[in-house]
Every structure is written in structure tokens, then in C-alpha cells.
Amino acid sequence: KAGVTQTPRYLIKTRGQQVTLSCSPISGHRSVSWYQQTPGQGLQFLFEYFSETQRNKGNFPGRFSGRQFSNSRSEMNVSTLELGDSALYLCASNSGGLVYNEQFFGPGTRLTVL
């Protein structure tokens, strides 16, 4: 099975712009979660989508949004970028069943905001 893929791998934007990141989960996985990883704050949960519905949401401002398509692929969007949004954005997929199922992580998208 192919693993979780994320595109693009690297992105450079300027303050005020918006950005869309994409995540393709492992085939058959219905749950996709997004995390932000920074040296200062570590790994923080953004949101989780299951069967095209947002099931859980972390404590991030409304500038961060996401969606999931019928094929389980997910996108996250960040509007009005700020310098502090520079981070590695990871997505993870699992089958969506039991809560302690293994999360399979993608390689991440490295976003740099100038």
C-alpha cells in the first residue's frame, strides 16, 4: 500500500497571502488529521476529518480551515498568513475505527512565511 502523501513538500509565502496544502491518505483510510509542528510549540492538533465531516478541532484561529473530499483526500487552508504560521504541517490517516488505531503520518509540508 502506498503511504500518506502530502503536496507540496515545501512552500514559501509572504505575509497576508493564503495557502492550500493537500494530503492523500492511505487507501481505505477514512480519517485524516492535521498537525502543526514548530520548534517552540511542538506538535499541535489542528483538526480531523472523517467521511467528509470535521469530527474534531483543535485550538487554532479561524484562519485555519480544512475539508475532505469523497475519496478521503483532504486539504487545509490558511488565510492571511502570519510569520508565526511558519511550520511543518503533518497529516495523518487511520482507518477511522477505534480511537487507538495507529496514525500513519505523511512526510509533511514545510511552510515558510516571509
Partner 1 sequence: AQTVTQSQPEMSVQEAETVTLSCTYDTSENNYYLFWYKQPPSRQMILVIRQEAYKQQNATENRFSVNFQKAAKSFSLKISDSQLGDTAMYFCAFIDPTNQAGTALIFGKGTTLSVSS
Binding of residue 42 to partner 1 (CB under 8 A): yes
**Sign of the torsion angle spanned by Cα atoms 22, 24, 30, 31:** negative
Binding of residue 30 to partner 1 (CB under 8 A): no
**Among residues 58, 67, 75, 79, which is the contact residue for partner 1, using CB under 8 A?**
58
Of the CA atoms within 13 Å of residue 96, those in its CB half-sphere come to: 19
Binding of residue 100 to partner 1 (CB under 8 A): yes
Nearest to 87 by CA among 13, 25, 24: 13
**Among residues 3, 28, 61, 84, which is the contact residue for partner 1, using CB under 8 A?**
3
The nearest distance, CB 38 to partner 1, in angstroms, is: 11
| Site stretch for partner 1 (CB under 8 A), options 20-28, 44-52, 64-72, 76-84 | 44-52
Binding of residue 74 to partner 1 (CB under 8 A): no
**Among residues 45, 60, 79, 95, which is the contact residue for partner 1, using CB under 8 A?**
45
C-alpha cell at 26: 492511505
- The residues that bridge with 74 in the sheet, in sequence order, are 23, 68
Binding of residue 106 to partner 1 (CB under 8 A): yes
Which residues have C-beta within 8 Å of that of residue 66, sequence separation ≥ 6? 34, 46, 47, 49, 54, 74, 75, 76, 77
